[in-house]
Structure 1
Amino acid sequence: MYKVGNLGWMVLVAITLMMTACAVAPNTAPKAEETAAPQVQPTVEQLPEQGQPQQEQGQEQEPVEGQPPTAREAAATVMRAIKNSDMQTVAAWVHAKKGIRFSPYAYVDVESDLTFKQDTLNGLMEDSKTYVWGTSAGSGEPIHLTYADYYKQFVYDADFAKDGTISLNEVQGKSTTTNNLNEVYPKESYDFVEYYIDGIDPAVEGMDWRSLRLVFEKIGDDRALVGIIHDQWTP
């Protein structure tokens, strides 16, 4: 029999101890699933609505077909039609019985401000007749103009659709002319949407501001256009 010396026994004991330690040592290496980054699922609020583009700030919504328009939605459609001189579309929004009243300044004069019915609006831009639209705030002289000329001075005399600051039932432009809008058109029955431009030429320091107010009568959930009020700085 082969005899193992003292040195040999010491080597065998060392190897045995090392094998025993490796067998009982815990495996401390992290598992793959423990090191992976946790996956966070988005909540319902975080998920974007499918098929619905986000609306930019200041951009007006168009009326949804089949649903009653809000005052701002109605005003957006009417203002675009006014900008394009599309009197047919404007007429479609006008109150069937009351028609629409044009006021050149903030004060609504129920006696002298002109009112037109739906069936007279379509050809108004081409009408060569001169009307009296009230009196000038500066001179007190009668305003003798065709509708096309009145439109240039007292309706769309600035790009309200593009540059106007929009408010609902809030007056932004305030002139020296008395504003009796809520007396003629009470809040309970009417909404108005104002398009306000605080100035065009910096050299005049805001003295060329102007507003256009579209007045709608509330008829149930629907709305009808009854007034277009122009306003501007007055001496």
Structure 2
Amino acid sequence: MKSPCFISREQMERLTEQILMDYGFDPYDKMVKSAPIEEIIEFHFDLQICWESIDHLDKDGLVMAAILPTEKQIILNESHRELFDNKIGTYHFTLAHELGHWVLHTSETPYLLRLGNSEPERPTKVQGQPFFCRSTAQKPMEEIQADLFAGCLLMPRPMIERAVGQLRKMRKIHLSHLYGLAHCLRVSISALSVRLTQLQLLTIDQYGNVNRPGTYTHPAFEQLTLDI
């Protein structure tokens, strides 16, 4: 039995950029704006977004959402609707994560075939089996790949690089500037922090200092606690 296909970050960047451009969202646009994840799901991939209580899918974990491939449905857990309503970044990332399962782990979309000359190995899961997003200490590879897909789709590399380039023209980049960038992209500050580190553009240390990779800033007397 074949193992789930592994997509490198560079491949994932190309794949997600192509999805955005196919829908008509230009990741090279000079204006920083959020990717229309709901529209991409519903109109580009013809998937339905539903709300249901799905805690029963995993009694030992916190189930946030699931995708049912045969029904072409992404189901958000009604039990956590207040969380999604209050944290738009979590809502968008969860949707993008589930879309990642559809693109990467089913045979319904052609995007994997466009990554190279050969077809990647298909995943072990079949279409009828649901994927569900849950809170666990250790994530399986397909969940890590779905997270990577979500980050690349919601925070396209060309847009992030241009935004950071503009911020670097200032004397110093502060955490408040990154919160502003996260707000424009409609993602959480934690997701943006991971993406900036991933792209080796900026890092946020435990004290809330923003640094370029490889640099260290001594903490000020009063430190900021990050809830990310």
TM bucket (normalised to shorter chain) is under 0.3
Whose strand fraction is larger, Structure 1's or Structure 2's? 1
Scaled by the length of structure 2, the TM-score of the pair is: 0.21
Scaled by the length of structure 1, the TM-score of the pair is: 0.21
If asked which structure has higher relative contact order (CA below 8 Å, sep 6+), I would say 2
Whose helix fraction is larger, Structure 1's or Structure 2's? 2
Structure with the greater alpha carbon radius of gyration: 1
